[in-house]
Protein backbone atom coordinates (compact mmCIF):
# COMPACT_ATOMS: atom_id res chain seq x y z
CA UNK A 1 0.00 0.00 0.00
CA UNK A 2 1.20 3.49 -0.83
CA UNK A 3 0.06 7.06 -1.06
CA UNK A 4 0.21 9.21 -4.15
CA UNK A 5 0.22 12.93 -4.87
CA UNK A 6 -2.42 14.38 -7.17
CA UNK A 7 -0.13 16.32 -9.49
CA UNK A 8 -2.81 18.71 -10.72
CA UNK A 9 -3.36 19.93 -7.13
CA UNK A 10 0.20 19.94 -5.80
CA UNK A 11 1.56 23.48 -5.44
CA UNK A 12 5.11 22.16 -5.02
CA UNK A 13 5.37 23.83 -1.62
CA UNK A 14 7.75 21.12 -0.46
CA UNK A 15 6.20 20.70 2.98
CA UNK A 16 5.79 16.96 2.62
CA UNK A 17 9.22 16.07 1.34
CA UNK A 18 11.15 16.07 4.59
CA UNK A 19 8.32 14.71 6.71
CA UNK A 20 8.45 11.34 5.01
CA UNK A 21 10.22 8.76 7.19
CA UNK A 22 11.12 6.73 4.12
CA UNK A 23 12.39 9.52 1.85
CA UNK A 24 9.74 8.41 -0.62
CA UNK A 25 8.88 11.93 -1.81
CA UNK A 26 10.91 13.76 -4.43
CA UNK A 27 10.53 16.42 -7.07
CA UNK A 28 9.88 15.54 -10.64
CA UNK A 29 9.29 18.07 -13.41
CA UNK A 30 8.03 20.83 -11.14
CA UNK A 31 5.79 18.73 -8.94
CA UNK A 32 6.24 16.23 -6.16
CA UNK A 33 5.87 12.49 -6.49
CA UNK A 34 5.76 9.52 -4.11
CA UNK A 35 7.69 6.38 -4.87
CA UNK A 36 5.22 3.51 -4.49
CA UNK A 37 8.08 1.17 -3.66
CA UNK A 38 9.36 3.33 -0.78
CA UNK A 39 6.05 4.52 0.69
CA UNK A 40 4.75 2.39 3.55
CA UNK A 41 1.88 4.75 4.44
CA UNK A 42 4.06 5.64 7.44
CA UNK A 43 3.37 2.29 9.05
CA UNK A 44 5.49 1.71 12.18
CA UNK A 45 6.68 5.34 12.06
CA UNK A 46 3.55 7.45 12.60
CA UNK A 47 -0.12 6.81 13.36
CA UNK A 48 -1.13 8.58 10.14
CA UNK A 49 0.45 9.36 6.76
CA UNK A 50 2.60 12.41 7.37
CA UNK A 51 2.47 13.74 3.84
CA UNK A 52 -1.30 13.98 4.04
CA UNK A 53 -1.06 15.49 7.53
CA UNK A 54 1.19 18.38 6.50
CA UNK A 55 -0.06 19.05 2.97
CA UNK A 56 -1.91 22.39 2.90
CA UNK A 57 -4.01 21.34 -0.09
CA UNK A 58 -6.93 19.05 0.78
CA UNK A 59 -7.09 15.64 -0.87
CA UNK A 60 -3.72 15.99 -2.56
CA UNK A 61 -1.86 13.20 -0.74
CA UNK A 62 -4.22 10.28 -1.03
CA UNK A 63 -4.18 6.48 -1.07
CA UNK A 64 -2.96 5.26 -4.46
Which residues are at the interface with ligand SF4 (CB under 6 A)? 3, 5, 10-16, 19-22, 24-25, 32, 34, 39-42, 49-51, 54-55, 57, 60-61
Phi–psi pair at 53, nearest 5 degrees = -70, -35
How far from 7 is each of 31, 32, 33, 43, 44, CA to CA, in Å? Answer: 6, 7, 8, 24, 27
CB of 5 to ligand SF4, least distance (A): 4
CA gap 31, 9 in Å, rounded:
9
CB of 29 to ligand SF4, least distance (A): 13
CB of 43 to ligand SF4, least distance (A): 8
Amino acid sequence: MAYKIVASQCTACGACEFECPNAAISTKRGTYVISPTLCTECESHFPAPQCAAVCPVADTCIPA
